[in-house]
Amino acid sequence: MKKILVTGGAGYIGSHLVKKLAEDGFDLVVLDNLSRGHIEAVHPKSKFENVDLLDKKNLLEIFDKYKFDSIIHFAAFAYVGESVEKPGLYYENNVSGSLNLIRYACEAGIKKFVFSSTCSVYGNPVQIPISEKESIKPINPYAFTKFAIEQILNDFEKAFGMKYTALRYFNAAGADPGGSIGESHNPEPHLIPIVLTAALGKREKVFVFGDDYETPDGTCIRDYIHVNDLADAHIKALMYLNSGNCSDVFNLGTGSGNSVKEIIETVSDVTGVQINYEVTQRRPGDPAVLVADNSKAKRILGWNPKFDLKDILTTAWQWHQNQKF
């Protein structure tokens, strides 16, 4: 059986992918340093290795110990605000860590690599919806680290022939419908978990970061994509590489957007709880609208997101009411 290495498999998106792959009978090794991930999220059918990508000695031992067929790489720090305050931490952890991984992967002769990138590489896009042809203009260190890793993959492909797909996610949200895993960040910067914890009464109100944007209700619009749809896209991206296709980048979003106020209203509908909110000033670095043109992933990967906003909020609500970690 072909062995797959999943870095960051104890994290939010990684654990959802690992669950799907494990249930499909794939042979998996999850590598995670548990600095942000949760051991409870690691699927029992996968082998777990507590290793930091910056720890070259132990990382190399992992490559000696297992013969991987392919790598799916999630492990990274992913808070925009923290990356602005601590750029060194982000460049070291994300870029240096990924460089170690990519280098050892190439030395081990691995030919397939799926990378978790972000739509924030586009910065403030000119064209909405955003296609992969939009120019790359990151506006924070987090996005720069992700683009740097895409560039490293590109250069290493030319030198060593390791094919990759870079998957540029829009706003990952929702939880596995089974309720065993879901989103759990500490601190939690993301809108949907924040609104849901307000619905649970764990937060008095939600702060809406600006209502003077050029959008119909003045609040920012994002493309929220269910975490299991993202997991599906990784499996499709891996199959795409397994079929011998060339390296490429893909936007992963639903293709439609919702404003902050729409999220608050829909959470009220789903939970039956009225959410208190207060409009405060804009959060620095927030573009008004980020919505994916997902036609390339649909066309080339054969991917079709299945969950709509109601599903996203319903599954996330189930998780938050009975959060296990």
Q: Which of 33, 145, 171, 184 binds ligand UDP (CB under 6 A)?
A: 171
291 and 256 Cβ atoms separated by less than 8 Å: yes
Amino acid at 21: L
**Spacing of C-alpha 140 from chain mean position:** 17
> 12, 90, 104, 142: which one is catalytic?
142
Q: Please state, in angstroms and as integers, the Cα–Cα distance from residue 132 to each residue in 251, 269, 295, following that order.
A: 7, 34, 10
- Per CB under 6 A, which of residues 238..277 are in contact with ligand UDP? 260
Q: Which of 73, 222, 234, 320 binds ligand UDP (CB under 6 A)?
A: 222
Residue 125's nearest CA partner among 229, 13, 216, 253 is 253
Q: Which of 208, 227, 292, 301 binds ligand UDP (CB under 6 A)?
A: 208
65 is a contact residue toward ligand UDP (CB under 6 A): no
Give, as one character, the DSSP assignment of residue 193.
H
Residue closer to ligand UDP (CB basis): 160 or 209: 209
Structure tokens belonging to residue 240: 């795409």
SS3 195: helix
Show the beta-strand stretches assigned E in 38-140. Answer: 47-49, 68-73, 112-118
Q: Which of 109, 161, 178, 189 binds ligand UDP (CB under 6 A)?
A: 189
Q: How far is the CB of 213 from ligand UDP (least distance, A)?
A: 8
Q: How far is the CB of 105 from ligand UDP (least distance, A)?
A: 28
Annotated active-site residue 142? The verdict is yes
Q: Which of 106, 207, 245, 262 binds ligand UDP (CB under 6 A)?
A: 207
16 is a contact residue toward ligand UDP (CB under 6 A): no
**Spacing of C-alpha 14 from chain mean position:** 8
56 is a contact residue toward ligand UDP (CB under 6 A): no
190 is a contact residue toward ligand UDP (CB under 6 A): yes
220 is a contact residue toward ligand UDP (CB under 6 A): yes
Structure tokens belonging to residue 267: 């959470």
Return the exposure string of 86-111: e unless at least 16 CB atoms fall within 10 Å of the residue's CB, then b: eeeebbebbbebbbbbbbbbbebebb
Mark the segment that binds ligand UDP (CB under 6 A) among 90-98, 159-167, 204-212, 300-308. Answer: 204-212
How many helices, marked H, and strands, marked E, lie in the chain? 11, 14
Greatest Cα pair distance in the chain? 56
Q: How far is the CB of 273 from ligand UDP (least distance, A)?
A: 17
Show the beta-strand stretches assigned E in 129-261. Answer: 163-169, 171-173, 206-209, 221-222, 224-226, 248-252, 258-259
Residue 11's nearest CA partner among 178, 255, 186, 192 is 186
Contacts with ligand UDP, 79-98, as mask; x by CB under 6 A: -x------------------
Residue closer to ligand UDP (CB basis): 41 or 221: 221
Mark the segment that binds ligand UDP (CB under 6 A) among 131-139, 157-165, 186-194, 291-299. Answer: 186-194
Size of the site for ligand UDP (CB under 6 A): 15
Contacts with ligand UDP, 278-297, as mask; x by CB under 6 A: -----x--x-----------
Residues marked active site are found at 142
Q: Where on the chain is the footprint of ligand UDP (CB under 6 A)?
A: 80, 171, 189-191, 194, 206-209, 220, 222, 260, 283, 286
